Amino acid sequence: MGYVSALDTIIKLTRRRTLSLPGWAARRVGASRGAFVRVRETKEGVLIRPAKPANKAQAYFWTQRWQRMEAEVDAAVQRGKVRRSKNLKELLSDLSA
């Protein structure tokens, strides 16, 4: 059996296919709880690097949950399920109908 260093760790994906980075790996990419990382496929495998949203106040936009909701809205628009209102009175009328 070959030598396995501390920097070569096997981790298990959870039921939701998430994983926890070992401490050494999180420190290596400068990640702490709530940090963002970029995951990119390369010829050698999967690369994980630190990532920062352009504006911390908009970090929520890049969460999986928010991106999923954005995709749902885009799908609703594609299906024609969106109405446009000319003014507030028309909007309120449409909502009460």
- pLDDT tens-digit profile of 8-20? 788 888 888 888 8
Contact 66, 53 (CB under 8 A): no
Widest CA span in the chain: 74
Q: Which amino acid is it at 14?
A: T
Under the banding of pLDDT at 50, 70 and 90, the label for residue 5 is low
52-60 mean pLDDT? 77
Domain parsing of the chain, residue ranges:
1-52, 55-97
pLDDT above 90 covers a percentage of the chain that reads 21
| CATH architecture of residue range(s) 1-52 | Ribbon (2.10)
Burial annotation 4-25 (CB, 10 A radius, 16+ → b, else e)? eeeeeeeeeeeeeeeeebeeee
Q: What is the pTM of this model?
A: 0.43
